[in-house]
Structure 1
Amino acid sequence: MPQSPVPSRRGILLGTAAVSAGAVLTACTSNEPAGKKPANSPANDPAPAADDRPGKAVTIGFAGPQADHGWLNAINDNARARAKKYSDVTLEITEGSNDTAAQIGQIQTLINKKVDVLVILPADGKALTQIGLQAMRAGIPVINLDRVFASPQAYRCWIGGDNYGMGLNAGRYIGEHLKNKTGAKVIELAGVDSLELTRQRTKGFDDALKNYPNITKVARQAADFTVESGQAKTAQLLQAQSDFDAFWNHDDDQGVGALRAIAQAGRDDFLMVGGAGAKSAMDAIKADDSVLKATVLYPPTMSASAIDIARAVAQGKGVGGLAELEIPATITLYSAVVTKDNVDQYLPTGFS
């Protein structure tokens, strides 16, 4: 799963995660017909948010990790779909790898091809910093997607999600639902503890709960962002905790397993909040027939916005709606909370 800078770093907080961050790049009207888009297409197949009038031909190199997770698949799908919207964009996309040496090699190939701009979601931001620096020194602007490089000199613009904000908003949602309950208890199913993103999500959650002194976190387990681990770790938590009021799960993929374990245990005496924004989670929220009542977004539409930004940078364009002539250095997406009251708005962005 993704990893983003600590929220206290410089950033621009955009309004809502349901719309790609590229929505602030609006400079002209779209060439797409009006009307509702199919809900099963990437990011609801939105019209390009940047100036979509044909301009200078641009080749964008896109390199990400292996798409072995629903969110990462959605990242690739959104990038491809966005690039197809522009007649002046050619997308060179790599196969993707979780091996840092292999990903560095793939990016080196794109540099050797002299692409106009690179969009890179590194498997490990720190480990790939040098290849980002190499591209920038070669005159190829880098759009660093989500997992941040160790040096701001390695990218022209960083765009990604807010892991701390995910935890914060999940905690606030739970806190507001339990604020009048004396001795309320919550448990947490985290991701992978070796990842900074997991620590950020937990910190945000814990910080939010500090505002609700009646609530105590009584248990926490770390899983591996997989269905199997979600099911196994949730089963352990349910066995150890016979009485609690809320359950926060960091990731909707592992949440599929968590819901299985909850159903098998016959438990319906608490509310559950998920994370990331999978379509399966949103479907369950809309059906309102399980403990899952909300999910906090970590929008894969960020890759569509990265294509918008890459094209604008390569063509020397700025951002419509801002006084500045240049693309911002950092764009942080907002972690919206999806509930049954607003799920129809966000459902088109859900990923499989």
Structure 2
Amino acid sequence: MKKRQYPFLLIGLMALFVLPIYFYYISSTQPIKRFGVSYMTMNNPFYEVINNEMRKQIEARGDQLIVRDPLLNESKQQEQIEQFIDMKVDGIFINPVDSRSLEPTLAKAKRAGIPVIAIDVPLSDSTSLLSTVVSDNYGAGVQCARHIMSHFDHAKIGLLKHSSVQSASERIRGFKETIASDDRFQIVNEAQCLGQLEIAMPKTEEMIAKTPDISIIMALNDPSALGAKAALKNIGRKDIYIYGVDGTPEMKALLAKDPMVLGTVAQSPYSIGKKAAQAMYDHLKGAPVSKNIVIPVEMIDHDSIDFYSKGGWQ
């Protein structure tokens, strides 16, 4: 006589219906991880894209990203990091207002066992950082200089800078060290603009008033380049060429139609946001994380603009 299989059938049904519910319950009761991020400013679409990508990566795992904007105020950013430490967040992302002053505050996070990742801007002292995720900023400056050297016989150049931020100063350093190798080109004026369009406008007008023979403006980023463009329009100068760094949709749209906007070195905020989030989760899982993650950049000019989307980032 054939033995009855009812017990085995019952076990199979339990495995089919009960176990998925059990595993769902276990996963849904895991504590939510909370991460804090403080950007130097959210008045820059580049950081909005980085933030959206990080939020997407973090929320896809059921976790939370707490965003703070210190409005380019160094002391306020330090306070925000202190608040994250008091909240006992699982990790901190920092886009520093100043590359030199945050180490004592970040050391507190390290002592509290909270990993910290710098995004887009490195710190002068990375002792307390888990990792730094940045574009090849020095290389961006080099690419702009080489483009000028290969497209002009000579030029007098004005610089728009943000020297307290290491990523911006690295771009300018790469540019200056490269252009210095060719005596056909001279840097005749420099101005600090904090990377902000509304500051770059009056600073550009001041530069042109003092050194009207400038024929090229090299800006540390695209918002500054767009501010320079607006200033040149205000003063009626149509004979000065502009370079930037970022690859913003606005700058690419100008590249496609404006002969005086000659180039921008494209960064990928999507890659920065994604790699920063991945590095944090890798560390929390116990996997090794590189101390420095450098993302390549590439020149976009009139010859290559058609290969890029004008309406979005890369």
TM-score, structure 2 normalization: 0.76
In structure 1, C-alpha distance between the alignment counterparts of 2:74 and 2:235, rounded to whole Å: 40
Instruction: Identify the range of structure 1 (237-246 vs 335-344) with the bigger mean alpha-carbon deviation.
Output: 237-246
Matching of residues 1-352 of structure 1 within 5 Å? 59-64=33-38, 65-84=40-59, 86=60, 88-97=61-70, 98-178=72-152, 181=153, 184-286=154-256, 288-301=257-270, 302-317=272-287, 326-343=288-305, 344-345=307-308, 347=310, 350=313
After TM superposition, give the deviation of residue 253 of structure 1 in Å: 1.3
Would the alpha carbon gap of residues 211 and 346 (structure 1) be closer, same or farther in structure 2, given more than 3 Å must change? Answer: farther
**CA offsets, 1:167-191, max 9 Å, x none?**
222111111112xx2xx11312312
Change over 3 Å in CA distance of 1:101–1:149 after alignment to 2: same
Q: d(CA) in 2 for partners of 1:80 and 1:346?
A: 23
Residue identity opposite 1:291 in structure 2: M
Residues 166-175 or 59-68, more deviating: 59-68
Equivalent position SS for 1:94: strand
- Please tell me the residue identity of whatever aligns with 1:330: N
Decide whether the 8 Å contact of 2:55 with 2:65 is kept in 1.
Answer: no
Note the C-alpha offset of 1:112: 4.1
User: Equivalent residue of 2:113, what SS?
Assistant: coil
Q: Which amino acid aligns with 1:337?
A: M
Contact 1:60 1:311 in 2 (8 A): no
> Contact (CA 8 Å) 2:159, 2:187: kept in 1 or not?
no
Question: CA 1:254–1:244 in 2, change beyond 3 Å: closer, same or farther?
Answer: closer
Amino acid at match of 2:55: R
Are the counterparts in 2 of residues 60 and 118 from structure 1 also a CA contact under 8 Å?
no
Question: Could you report, residue by residue, the CA deviation over 1:111-163 in whole angstroms, capped at 9, with x for unpaired residues?
Answer: 34443332222333433223322333333322222333454331111112343
Sort the Cα spacing of 1:272 and 1:150 in 2 relative to 1 into closer, same or farther, 3 A.
closer
CA-based RMSD of the aligned residues comes to 3.0
* C-alpha spacing 1:284/1:140, structure 2 compared with 1 (3 Å): same
The Cα shift of 1:57 comes to: 7.1
Q: How many residues align?
A: 283
Query: Does the 8 A contact of 1:189 with 1:223 survive in 2?
Result: no
Paired residues of 2:157 and 2:217 also in contact (CA < 8 A): yes
Q: Is the Cα contact below 8 Å between 1:282 and 1:350 reproduced in 2?
A: no
SS at match of 1:341: coil
| Cα distance in structure 1, aligned partners of 2:211 and 2:99 | 37
Structure-1 separation of matches of 2:243 and 2:282: 37
- Of structures 1 and 2, the one with the larger relative CO (CA 8 A, separation 6+) is 1
In the alignment, the residues of structure 2 paired with residue 110 and residue 199 of structure 1 have an alpha-carbon distance, to the nearest angstrom, of 28
Q: 1:243 to 1:126 in 2, by over 3 A?
A: closer
In the alignment, the residues of structure 1 paired with residue 290 and residue 133 of structure 2 have an alpha-carbon distance, to the nearest angstrom, of 9
CA change 1:89–1:248 in 2 (3 A) is same
Structure 1: gaps (5+ residues): 1-53, 318-325
Deviation per CA, 1:3-46: give whole Å up to 9, x if none: xxxxxxxxxxxxxxxxxxxxxxxxxxxxxxxxxxxxxxxxxxxx
Q: Between Structure 1 and Structure 2, which shows a larger proportion of helix residues?
A: 2
Q: Give 3-state SS (helix, strand or coil) of 1:154's partner.
A: coil
Encode CA deviations 1:40-89: one digit per residue, 9 max, x unaligned.
Answer: xxxxxxxxxxxxxx9x87624132134233333333233223334x3x24
What is the one-letter code of the residue matched to 2:292?
Answer: T
Which protein shows a greater Rg? 2
Counterpart position of 1:31: none
Q: Report the identity percentage.
A: 21
Q: After superposition, what is the alpha-carbon deviation per residue over 1:238-261, rounded to whole angstroms, capped at 9, x for unaligned?
A: 344454543212222122221122
Residue 219 of structure 1 contacts residue 237 of structure 1 at CA under 8 Å; is this kept in 2? Answer: yes
Q: Secondary structure at the match of 1:132?
A: helix
Deviation at 1:331, TM superposition (A): 1.1
Q: Is the 8 A contact 2:74 2:97 kept in 1?
A: yes
Rounded Cα–Cα distance in structure 1 between residues aligned with 2:167 and 2:237: 29
Scaled by the length of structure 1, the TM-score of the pair is 0.69
